Structure formats: structure tokens, C-alpha cells
């Protein structure tokens, strides 16, 4: 079986879709499935992968690639290979990592606020935001994606949450495979607990950093918690704004903005913290960072609505998205209850068994074979 994975974004670009596509391709090869990754992302360095990588192919090259492969699998909302696959009668698998078939923005979050997750409501919302012409053009793209979803061999939702939010024909759920093994090294390291709480993610509006800072500001006002520390790992377009908010809330002595970290630097940073908080305000489709932090042995607090809660199961405390008062209560509860911290970490070990990349790759292989039959 020859599988073509189309990933609009791919390494060396850094992000969720890039990591998931690379992890799936690598594991397909390990399972004896021939695999080629096709991407629009350029690279100045030579590709040194155990699978083939084709970058920015021409239309003629796309046609040749589709003819050579048994399965065309698009990881993400792109239709770059859809029409060629349909014309050449090749099975087209479409993985939906967001809400691109229900709303214009694909996120349900625009310019720092919640946006509608249904087509018509999304269209009216974007008319007010961007004007009639811009909204209409994007609405036409949305309609094309909706129509296309009815002609694919399989629609894959990355969580049950996404499958309920975005009901599509011929749909099944397969979780995204994330390479969580490296994060297990954190468990083996000596823990200094310099920081009581840690956030890992982009410093953008939808990730809920403002909610976290406001909750933490309440916590350090409590007797006995005045010296608690919060580590923020990541960067983004709202970093300066959040640094200003931290100063406004009187948190400069309690919060460290550590910036973006990867590899060993990230593992070392995580080893200095005790409890992880993922306070996303939007409805995260899945939650790869939650898997990474569970693998790192961190008890978790995550927002309730979205794929995060589904991924963590009973390995985390929950709070309503954007409700910093509830988050404060959960942070206070968990920091004061070491037995609960141990229990959540124990629950995480079992929960992570569902997300082993090799296991999820086998689900994809089974699905590929069923489609070919």
C-alpha cells in the first residue's frame, strides 16, 4: 500500500499539524506502509526522513503523485489534492483538525472573541467583521468544503468533540498521533519545583493566558500562597500585552515569561514545575499539549469545553472556559492537596495508553485497508 499524506504545513515549520503529519508518516513506515509527504512548506535544508518528502509540486507533479499512490490523505482543511484524486478515482481521506467545514474562520474564535460554529451564523458574523464582499468570498470557500466533504472516502474527526460539533457524512474518530515519548523523560529528572504552576502554549488570545493570570492573581492573595510561582513557556503576538497585565496585577515577582522552548530546553523547563494549567478559552479541537504534559507527569487543570477534557479523561480538574474564578478555585484545591496530585498523575498513565502513536497509526492503517476494500 502506498499512502500520500498532504500536509500544507510541514517541518521545518513548527506547529501541531506539522508534528502530527511527521509522526503519522514515520509510524506508517515502521509498520511497513510506503509513505510520501507532500507539502507547500519550503526548506533550505535537505530532507533527512525515513519517508519521501515532496515540496511545492506543480500540477503535473500532483497528477503523477496521485497516480502512484493508493490512498490520498489530506491532514487538514486543504483541498489541494481533492479534485485530482476524485478525477483519477483515488480514495481521498480528509482529517479535520478544526472546524473548517462549519465556519468561515475554522476556529470559532476571531480577533480575541468567540465566533459562531455554524455556516450561516458564521457568514453573518463575518459580514459585520470584514464586509459583504470578503465574507461572501470566504463563505463560497466554506460551501465548497461542505460539498467536498460529501464526496470523500472518509472524514476523520480528531476527537468525539469535533465529530459532534462538525457532523459530516462517512465520518469516524481517530485521535491525532503525537510523539509523547520525549516528554516521559521529565518524569526521570530530579524535580526542583521552582514553579508551582506551568503553562505551555502560544501566547495568543484563544489560549486563555489572561484567564490564567487573573486566577493566579487571586491565588497569591490567599494567606500561605503569597510566594507561589507561575512559569509561562511560549511566545506569541500577545506576549507584550500579557506582560503588561502581569505588571498591572502585581505579579512581576511571581511570574516568569520564559519564551519559546523546544527539545532539551523544554524538558528541563518542565522539570522545574509542579502543576500544569491549560486554560484555553476557545474550544480546542483536541489537545496535544495536554498529552505532552500528562506524559511529563504533571497533574493538570484544563478548560472544560472542547477536546481537552476528552483527552485528559479523569487525569485533570476542569473549569468553565474563560471563568477565572473557577480556575482560581481549582488551582487552590490542587496546590493544597498532594494526594489529589498523585491520583491525577496515576490516572494519566492509563489515559495515555489510548494515545500511543503506534496504536493510533494502526487505526489509520485499518481504515486505509477498509477503504481500499
Are residues 173 and 280 part of one domain? no
Are residues 33 and 95 part of one domain? yes
- Residue 284 sits at the vertex; the CA angle it makes with 327 and 203, to the nearest 5 degrees, is 70
For the cut 90, the answer to whether the pLDDT of residue 30 exceeds it is: yes
CA–CA dist 216, 220 (Å, integer): 6
Q: How many CB atoms lie within 10 A of CB 253?
A: 11
| Cα–Cα nearest to 341, from 308, 304, 307, 294 | 294
Angstrom CA distances, 141 to 103, 109, 152, 161, stand at: 10, 18, 17, 24
Are residues 198 and 149 part of one domain? no
Span 144-175, pLDDT tens digits: 999 999 999 999 999 999 999 999 999 999 99
CA–CA dist 221, 198 (Å, integer): 19
Are residues 187 and 142 part of one domain? no
Residue 360 belongs to domain with CATH number: 3.40.50.2000
19 is written with which cell numbers? 508534528
Are residues 345 and 233 part of one domain? yes
Are residues 163 and 207 part of one domain? no
Span 90-140, pLDDT tens digits: 999 999 999 999 999 999 999 888 999 999 999 999 999 999 999 999 999
CA–CA dist 72, 3 (Å, integer): 6
Pairing of strands 109-110, 113-114: antiparallel
Span 333-360, pLDDT tens digits: 999 999 999 999 999 999 999 999 999 9
Span 219-232, pLDDT tens digits: 999 999 999 999 99
Structural domain total, the chain: 2
Q: Which domain holds residue 292?
A: 181-355
pLDDT of 188 reads 74
Instruction: Spell out the residues 6+ positions from residue 177 whose beta carbon is closer than 8 angstroms to its own.
Output: 20, 23, 24, 27, 355, 357, 360, 361
Are residues 269 and 202 part of one domain? yes
Amino acid at each position: 500500500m502506498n499512502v500520500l499524506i498532504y500536509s500544507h504545513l510541514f517541518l521545518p515549520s513548527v506547529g501541531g499539524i506539522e508534528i502530527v503529519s511527521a509522526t503519522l508518516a514515520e509510524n506508517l513506515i515502521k509498520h511497513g506502509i510506503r509513505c510520501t509527504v507532500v507539502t507547500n512548506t519550503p526548506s533550505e535544508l535537505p530532507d533527512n526522513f525515513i519517508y519521501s518528502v515532496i515540496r511545492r509540486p506543480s500540477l503535473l507533479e500532483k497528477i503523477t503523485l496521485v497516480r502512484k499512490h493508493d490512498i490520498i490523505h489530506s491532514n487538514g482543511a486543504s483541498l489541494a489534492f481533492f479534485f485530482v484524486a476524485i478525477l483519477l478515482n483515488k480514495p481521498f481521506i480528509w482529517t479535520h483538525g478544526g472546524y473548517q467545514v462549519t465556519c468561515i474562520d475554522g476556529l470559532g474564535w476571531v480577533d480575541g472573541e468567540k465566533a459562531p460554529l455554524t455556516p450561516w451564523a458564521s457568514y453573518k458574523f463575518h459580514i459585520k467583521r470584514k464586509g459583504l464582499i470578503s465574507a461572501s468570498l470566504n463563505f463560497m470557500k466554506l460551501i465548497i468544503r461542505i460539498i467536498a466533504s460529501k464526496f470523500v472516502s472518509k472524514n476523520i474527526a480528531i476527537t468525539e468533540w469535533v465529530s459532534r460539533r462538525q457532523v459530516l457524512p462517512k465520518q469516524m474518530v481517530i485521535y491525532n498521533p503525537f510523539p509523547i515519548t520525549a516528554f516521559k523523560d521529565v518524569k526521570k529528572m530530579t524535580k526542583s519545583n521552582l514553579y508551582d504552576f506551568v503553562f505551555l502554549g502560544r501566547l495568543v488570545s484563544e489560549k486563555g493566558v489572561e484567564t490564567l493570570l487573573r486566577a493566579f492573581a487571586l491565588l497569591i492573595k490567599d494567606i500561605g500562597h503569597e510566594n507561589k510561582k507561575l512559569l509561562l513557556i511560549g511566545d506569541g503576538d500577545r506576549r507584550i500585552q500579557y506582560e503588561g497585565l502581569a505588571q498591572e496585577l502585581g505579579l512581576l515577582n511571581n511570574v516568569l515569561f520564559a519564551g519559546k522552548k523546544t527539545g532539551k530546553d523544554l524538558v528541563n523547563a518542565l522539570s522545574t514545575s509542579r502543576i500544569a494549567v491549560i486554560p484555553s478559552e476557545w474550544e480546542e479541537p483536541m489537545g496535544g499539549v495536554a498529552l505532552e504534559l500528562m506524559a511529563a507527569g504533571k497533574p493538570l487543570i484544563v478548560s472544560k469545553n472542547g477536546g481537552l477534557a476528552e483527552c485528559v479523561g479523569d487525569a485533570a480538574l476542569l473549569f468553565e472556559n474563560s471563568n477565572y474564578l473557577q480556575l482560581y478555585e481549582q488551582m487552590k484545591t490542587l496546590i493544597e492537596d498532594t494526594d489529589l496530585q498523585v491520583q491525577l498523575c496515576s490516572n494519566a498513565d492509563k489515559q495515555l495508553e489510548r494515545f500511543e502513536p503506534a496504536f493510533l497509526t494502526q487505526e489509520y492503517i485499518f481504515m486505509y485497508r477498509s477503504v481500499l476494500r
